[in-house]
Amino acid sequence: MSNFKVEFTLKQHTPIIHFQSDQSGATLRASELKPKFDKFLKKYAFNDKIPKEYKISDANDALDYTVKIAASKLYDTYQYKTYISKRDRENPQIKMGSYFGDNKAIQTDKITITIMSINNIKIIEYIKKYFIDFIIIENFGSRQNKGFGSFTVIKIDNKELNYNVEDILLNYYQIIYTMTHKNPLQKIQQDYQLLKSGSSNPQYKKSLLFNYMCNNKIRWEKRMIKEYMKKDYPSVFKTLKYEKQPTKCNNEENFQYEYVRGLLGITEQIEFLKVNARNFKDKIKINIKSVDNNIKRFKSPITFKVIGNNIYVLASNHIPVKGKEFTFLIKGEHGILNKSIKIPENFDIFKFLNNALPQLKYKILKAQK
């Protein structure tokens, strides 16, 4: 093979949700892969300072190589949903997973990635060294932190590879969590819901994050919203569905309200079930707004990686929204709270996951010191 290029063969483990899913040849996009790989190389190969000779120009940190991606035959397309109606349950193209949109998920047999640098042979050596790790650590496409768009490298320049995935993950994460399941994306959808919000289907289960913070004398925003709704919007409050009475924490006389669920990701709204809902979409919608208007969304610090039937949970304690203030509003109404509340500042995600994930049958793996 040429010293100016390298070819990687990828195996796809979970479908990638693609905005061009109806177009022939749609697959992993170079326009997503290259910037992410540039960032990865900058951090791990060059210690956050890229030498000039490896960059396209001094104006930015884009590295001097090109990426070409080719997919083999399309294996299948699927529509993933967080809820499947009775009508769709017999449809093999509709599956359970953490996705809310209309784009389809694409599954292909194999993907070939050719990386070339005519001007810089040395960058190819860095690419050969780090690309396997990069593909194991990252997912691609929409809802990538919920396990979609997961790949591994199985060949370099047509030579078969043999490596230990868990050893590579533990090079980048001091702790990972793992389990095996026959339907990984469905399992991830169910487990993440239990971690963050709790579940009401098929039976009511309290959020593990709620329980963890409740034991630390912090009550979450849902109860506070309901209290203000009962006081200021009684007609709306009467339509709320209650599965059970509010849970009591360690000390009911000494707690504070905080925006707890924001620790695992900020969205534009939260939803409450109605007691006599017309359909699954008939809910009370509460808009979320940051006080300083600088935060629209925040990606969850938890990422699920799927390899075969193995699920790996990767987490980061870098949560920049800690301590930020938010207000909550009924859509079309004025704010339902007369004060803003903060996301907890003192939160260690590993202490939380060490407590929560064993309850969901995950094993904890730690890096060797």
pLDDT of residue 214: 84
pLDDT of residue 102: 63
- Write the single-letter amino acid at 341: I
CA 369, CA 65: separation in Å to the nearest integer? 36
pLDDT of residue 11: 94
* Same domain, yes or no: 78 and 9: yes
For 35, phi then psi, to 5°, come to: -60, -35
Domain stop point among 122, 147, 163: 163
* Same domain, yes or no: 197 and 256: yes
Instruction: Confirm whether 173 is domain-assigned.
Output: no
Segments in the chain forming alpha helices (H): 30-44, 121-137, 165-172, 184-196, 208-214, 221-232, 234-237, 349-356
pLDDT of residue 101: 59
* Same domain, yes or no: 11 and 152: yes
pLDDT of residue 161: 95
Q: What is the pTM of this model?
A: 0.88
Instruction: Confirm whether 268 is domain-assigned.
Output: yes
pLDDT of residue 98: 58
Query: For every one of its 369 residues, what pLDDT tens digit does the chain have, with 9 covering 90 and above?
Result: 578 999 999 999 999 887 554 555 567 899 999 999 999 999 999 999 998 899 888 778 899 999 999 887 666 776 666 665 666 666 666 665 655 656 677 888 789 999 999 888 899 999 999 999 999 999 998 889 999 999 999 999 999 999 999 999 999 998 999 999 999 998 999 999 999 988 776 677 889 999 898 877 788 888 888 888 888 888 888 888 765 666 777 656 678 889 999 999 888 888 888 887 777 677 888 888 888 777 767 788 999 999 999 999 999 999 999 999 998 888 766 667 667 889 999 999 999 999 999 999 999 998 776
pLDDT of residue 322: 92
Residue 229 CB contacts under 8 Å (≥ 6 apart), including other chains: 236, 237, 240, 330, 336
| The total number of structural domains that make up the chain | 2
* Same domain, yes or no: 158 and 193: no
* Same domain, yes or no: 232 and 266: yes
Angle of helix 165-172 relative to helix 121-137, nearest 10 degrees? 100
* Same domain, yes or no: 217 and 334: yes
Instruction: Confirm whether 344 is domain-assigned.
Output: yes
Q: What is the CATH number of the domain that holds 117?
A: 3.30.70
Nearest alpha-carbon partner for 209 in 186, 225, 224, 192: 192
* Same domain, yes or no: 122 and 85: yes
Residue 11 CB contacts under 8 Å (≥ 6 apart), including other chains: 110, 151, 152, 153, 154
**Domain enclosing residue 324, as ranges:** 188-366
* Same domain, yes or no: 104 and 49: yes
* Same domain, yes or no: 257 and 194: yes
pLDDT of residue 196: 92
CA 102, CA 86: separation in Å to the nearest integer? 19
* Same domain, yes or no: 220 and 357: yes
Instruction: Confirm whether 53 is domain-assigned.
Output: yes
Instruction: Confirm whether 183 is domain-assigned.
Output: no
Domain stop point among 147, 163, 179: 163
* Same domain, yes or no: 155 and 87: yes
Instruction: Confirm whether 179 is domain-assigned.
Output: no
Angle at 327 between CA 326 and CA 330, to 5 degrees: 145
pLDDT of residue 1: 57
Instruction: Confirm whether 175 is domain-assigned.
Output: no
pLDDT of residue 272: 84
